[in-house]
Amino acid sequence: MQNPSIKHALNEKGGFQIWWRLMRPHTLTASFVPVFVGTMLALVDGSIDIFLFLAMLLASMLIQAATNMFNEYYDYVRGLDNEESVGIGGTIVRDGISANTVLRLALAFFGISILLGIYICMVSSWWIALIGLVCMLFGYLYTGGPFPIAYTPFGEVSAGFFMGTVIIGISYFIQTTEITGEIIWISIPVAIFIGTIMLSNNIRDLDGDKENGRKTIAILIGRENAIRFLAFLFIAAYTLTIIYIISNMLPFWSLLTMLSIVKAIDVIRKFQGKTKPLEMLPAMVATGKTNTVYGFLLGLSLLISKFF
């Protein structure tokens, strides 16, 4: 039975939006940004294959969406989600879609990603197949398996590494057939921003996660300290960006990324003084937007530097 109050508060609608919410579109920025940045870095160093870029982008977004579906499925079967849960698609607990349907859709997305991966490997290198399979395994184990990563203090760093550093590295490598130390360094701020999305999610869900036995960073250090840690991560990401610009690792145009600081400040303000998940939902969404704006401006700055 659906809960009209929570559906109304979240402005959840039926039809196509049920499936759109299931993919948690506000989190898909975590898959778009690394591919965009990695590809623009490759463009600066030479040229790019647009079809490789589009294949990599679609594969990454499908894996991210599938990861969100695995999250929806496994949290439901473990009894962690209910009609009052905030921050989920609500497809199973509020819209009545079969849990098995969600699982099959996630596996189908993985299947399409594998086909795209085969194309990418044929055009670039078969080493990508191994790395891609590891990324997909991480996507499954993030909430699946006997010891879900999302239930531990390592969720943020794992997500940042695989979805940030690894995806940027792959996106660069398939275009250039090489990888450099600079690419790894430049990936770190993006990885941090992706980690902040996970941290924001865990701050919002702290009380419910604690009741269900999770041991996230937010639970271990407490909500107020977690918000301070979130602010520290933002500061670290922007500081690294400035260091890279000063050291000529990034172009002068990358100062454009500083425009996103306004969004980061907004995230912290939206979290302060809030204790209920529904109250903190805007802060969670704003964190994803911060990653989007930063990543888009970083990629744009690289594109501009190619021609100016």
* Domains of the chain in sequence order: 13-301 (1.10.600)
Q: Indicate the residue type of 47.
A: S
Using CA atoms, how far apart are residues 93 and 97, in angstroms rounded to an integer?
A: 8
Sequence-distant (6+) residues with CB within 8 A of 168 are 34, 35, 37, 38, 41, 183, 186, 187, 190
The residues, ordered by sequence, that sit 6+ positions from 186 with a Cβ below 8 Å of its Cβ are 37, 41, 168, 244, 249, 250
Residue 13 pLDDT:
67
pLDDT (0 to 100) of residue 2? 44
Cα–Cα dist 53/29, whole Å: 16
* Apex 20 CA angle, 210 and 39, nearest 5: 90
In degrees rounded to 5, what are phi and psi of residue 152?
-115, 175
Instruction: Please report, in tens digits, the pLDDT of each residue of the chain (308 residues total).
Output: 444 455 555 555 667 788 888 888 877 888 999 999 999 999 999 999 999 999 999 999 999 999 888 888 888 888 776 666 666 667 887 878 888 999 999 999 999 999 999 999 999 999 999 998 998 899 889 888 888 998 999 999 999 999 999 999 999 999 999 999 999 999 999 999 999 999 999 999 899 888 888 899 999 999 999 999 999 999 999 999 999 999 999 999 999 999 999 999 999 999 999 988 889 989 998 999 999 999 999 999 999 999 98
How much is the pLDDT for 80?
A: 74
pLDDT of residue 1: 40
- The SS3 call for residue 14 is coil
Q: List the structure tokens of 100.
A: 């098995």
Tokens of 265: 């400040």
Measured CA to CA, the distance from residue 276 to residue 151 in angstroms comes to 20
- What separation, in Å, do the N-terminal and C-terminal C-alpha atoms of the chain show? 58
Tokens of 197: 């999305």
pTM: 0.90
Q: Name which of 140, 127, 218 is nearest 166 in CA terms.
A: 127
pLDDT at position 85: 67
- Contact (CB, 8 A) for 80 and 212: yes
pLDDT digits (tens, 9 = 90+) for 14-54: 677 888 888 888 778 889 999 999 999 999 999 999 999 99
Summarize pLDDT for 129-161 with one digit per residue, the tens.
999 899 889 988 988 888 899 899 999 999 999
144: left (phi over 0), alpha (psi -120 to 50) or beta: beta
Dihedrals φ, ψ of 157, to 5°?
-70, -35
CA dihedral 293, 294, 296, 301 (to 10 degrees): 130
DSSP class of residue 166?
A: I
Cβ 30 vs Cβ 197: under 8 Å: yes
